[in-house]
Structure 1
Amino acid sequence: MRPRETSGGARELRRVTSFDVARAAGVSRAAVSRAFTPDASVSKKTREKVYQAAKELGYRVNYLARSLTNKRSDLVGLVAAGLDNPFRTRQLDHLARALIARNYRPILLPTSKEVDTSTVIGQLLHYAVSGVIVTSDAPPSHICEECAAEGVPIVLVNKGEDFAFVDRVVSDDRMSGYTAAEHLLAAGAKRLGVIAGTAVSYTARRRAEAFRSRCSMLGAETQLIPVALNDYQHGRDVAPQLLDLGIDGVFSVNDYMTCGVLDGLVSAGNGDGSVKVIGHDDIPQASWSAYELTTFLQPADLQAEQVVDLLISRMAEPDAVARVEFTPVTLIKRRSA
C-alpha cells in the first residue's frame, strides 16, 4: 500500500498495482507478471529490477485476482480429519511443504465423521483450486466425477475406493501386517491379537487383515479386538481386555492408539513388558522413554512427494488411467516388542 492525498488533505492507503511496479522498474507490465511467475522466461536483470521496485513500493502479488485471469488458482485443498492424531499433523505438514516447494499454496479444510466430504470439496471448487488431496474419508463418486469434469484432480491418501481418474497413495499395509506377526512370534509371543477399528478405517482393516492372514499361515492363534475409533482413549480402554484374553503379543494399528494401550496396561498393573506391543506410524511419542514403542515408520515426507507428483501428473494428463502408488514401511525396533 502507498499513501495518497484526498481532497480534504487526509492521507489514505492505495493498493500498489503491477502498473506501479512496471513504471518504477522501467519495464512493461507483462515483464512484471513474468518476474513473479515461477519458471517464466525473463532475464535475471529484469527480474531483479522488478523485485527491487516491488520491495520499495510494498507490492504483493494478488494471487486470487490472477486466478480470475487464468481460470485456476494455485491453491490446492487439503481435506483432513483426525487432527488429534500426531501422525496426521505430521502428514499434513509434509504435504503442505511439498506443495509450497512446487509453487502451490495449500488450503486446509478440516472435516469429521459428521461432515460430508463432498460438501467440503464442493466448497473448494468455488476457489478454482488446482487440485484436492484427501486424507479423511474418500469422497463419493459423484463429487469425483464433478471434479474430473472441471479439470480438478483428486489424490486420495490411504483410501481403498477406486474411482476413474482419481489417483491413490497407500501405505504398504500388507507388509506391516505380515512383519508384525513374524516379529511377535520371533519374540516369543504365543497368543496374538490385533487392535483395530476396522469398520471406520481402511488402513486399520487392511493392516488387521494382513496380520491375521500371516498368523494363519504360520499356524498361530490370533484374536481381533475391535474398537469404535482408532484413538488414544479407545486403546487405553481396551488394554485390560488383552489381559483377560491371555494375549501376550499385540499389533495395534496406529501409534496414537498404541500409546493408550501401553498406558492402559500400566494402569492395569501390567507394565513389565510381558505383553509385547507393536504400533504403526512412528510418531514422535513412540521414541519417548515412557513408551519406547516398536513400530513401523510410515515416511510422511516420501508419501507427500508421491502424492504431489501424482497430483501434478494428473494436471498434465487428466484422462490417464487411475494409478496407485505404495509407500514403503520399515520396522523400528524398540523396547515394547
Structure 2
Amino acid sequence: MRPKEGNGLSREPRRVTSFDVARAAGVSRAAVSRAFTPDASVSEKTRQKVYQAAKELGYRVNYLARSLTNKRSDFVGLVAAGLDNPYRTQQLEHLARALIARNYRPILLPTSKEADSATVIGQLLHYSVSGVIVTSDAPPSHIFEECAVEGVPIVLINKGEDFPFVDRVVSDDRMSGYTAVDHLIETGAKRLAVIAGKAVSYSSRRRAEAFQSRCTGLGIEAPLIPVAINDYRHGHEAAEKLLDMGIDGVFSVNDYMACGVLDGLAKAGRGDGSVKVIGHDDIPQASWIAYELTTFQQPCDVQAEQVIDLLTSRMSEPDAVARVEFTPVTLIKRRSA
C-alpha cells in the first residue's frame, strides 16, 4: 500500500458499500439488496446495472452481516467423516455443487469416529446456518431438539434410526445385497462371503445383512468376514482369509475396501479372476485398469438433489412428518466379477 505523503502513515482504503453501488448504478439501496437476493423481485435491467456497478467498484456482499439482519444465513453445514474414502469426497463435491446451484453456501466441518458430531453441529448453529446435512454417524438425539428449537432442519444420509422431524436419504442397500449374490452365482462362484467392518455403518450393515439373507434363501452358506474398518488396508488383509477359506465370490460393502481385496489377491498370486469381487459405490478408481471392479453405482448427483429437496422442503414445512427417500443403485459390470 502506498504511504500517505507528508507524515509517512498509510491509509486503509475505504470499504465499498451498497450505498456506493446504488449511487453508481442510479438505483435505490433496496434495489441493490434485491439484485443480490435470489428470487427477489427486480427487473433484469436493474439487476445488470447493479452487477456492473458492483464489478467496477469491487463490491462484495457481506453474507455474514446479512445473516445478522435476517436471523438466518445462506450457509448449509456439511458434517462428514471418513474423508480418506474416495466416495466421501465424490459425495461431498456433488452436495456442495448442488447447494451452490440452489444459492446456498456450503460449510464443511469434518468429524471422526472419536469426535462428537453433536459438538460440530453445535458449532454450526453459531453461524445461523439454514440447514445441516450429515454424512457421518448420526448425532445423539438431543442435538436434533436443539436444531428444532433454532429452526434448523437436518437431513441424514445413509443413517438408519428415525427421529421426529429429521429426514433421511438412504441407498437401496437391500437391492445391492440381493443383486450381488445373484451376479456372483451367475459368474460361476460357488463359495460366497461378504466383508464388512465390526463397527459397521448403517449402510454397510444393511448391505451385508441383505447379502446373507439372499444366500440363506437360496440355501447357500455365506460367512461374514469381519474387519475393523471398511478401508483399503483391511480389505488387503482380508484377502488372505478369503483364500484360506476357499472363497471364490465376495461382496465388499464399499469400493475402497474392495480395491484392497483385489490388490491383496494379486499379491498372493491370485489376481487371475478366480476369486470374483464386487464392491459398492463406483468410485473413480473402480474403473481403473488395475481394478476394473464390478460394483454398484450409488449416483451422488441424484442423492444430492434428493437431500437438498428434503432440506428446502423442511425449511418451509418444519412440522412435516419425517420422510425417507431411497437412492437407486445400478450394477456396473467389469472384469472383477
Query: 1:1-337 to 2 correspondence within 5 Å?
Result: 10-337=10-337
Secondary structure of 2:13's aligned partner: strand
| CA distance, structure 2, for counterparts of residue 86 and residue 201 of structure 1 | 16
In the TM superposition, residue 11 of structure 1 has moved relative to its aligned partner by 3.8
Distance 2:172 2:131 in 1: 25
1:6/1:12 contact within 8 Å kept: no
Offset at residue 22 of structure 1 (A): 1.0
By how many angstroms is 1:199 displaced?
2.2
**Aligned pair in 2 of structure 1 residues 298, 198: CA closer, same or farther (>3 Å)?**
farther
Q: TM-score if structure 1 supplies the norm length?
A: 0.97
Any conservation in 2 of the 1:79–1:134 contact (CA below 8 Å)?
Answer: yes
The residue type paired with residue 70 of structure 2 is: N
Question: Residues 5 and 12 of structure 1 are in contact (CA less than 8 Å); yes or no, is this contact kept in structure 2?
Answer: no
Which deviates the most, 24-33 or 251-260? 24-33
| Aligned-residue offset at 1:115 | 0.5
Give the C-alpha shift of residue 232 in structure 1: 0.2
Q: Residues of 2 paired with 1:211 and 1:217: CA distance?
A: 10
Contact 1:199 1:205 in 2 (8 A): no
**Quick one: distance in 1 between partners of 2:103 and 2:43?**
20
Structure 2 residue ranges without an equivalent (≥5) = none
How far the C-alpha of 1:124 sits from its partner, in A, is 0.2
Offset, 1:268: 1.4
Question: Any runs of at least 4 consecutive aligned residues in structure 1 with deviations exceeding 2 A, and if so which?
Answer: 3-12
Shift of 1:187: 1.2
What SS class does the counterpart of residue 12 from structure 1 fall into?
Answer: coil
Change (3 A) 1:254 1:10: closer
- Point out the more displaced range, 246-255 or 9-18: 9-18
- Structure 2 distance, partners of 1:6, 1:328, is 68
Please, what TM-score do these two structures have when normalized by structure 2?
A: 0.97
Number of positions where the alignment pairs a residue of Structure 1 with one of Structure 2 = 336
Checking the alignment, whether the CA contact within 8 Å between 1:197 and 1:227 is kept in structure 2 is yes
CA separation of 1:266/1:17 partners in 2, compared to 1, >3 Å: closer, same or farther?
same
Shift of 1:12: 2.4
SS in 1 for 2:291: coil
Per-residue CA distance 1:41-61 (angstroms, 9 max, x = gap): 111221121111111111000
DSSP 3-state at the match of 1:235: helix
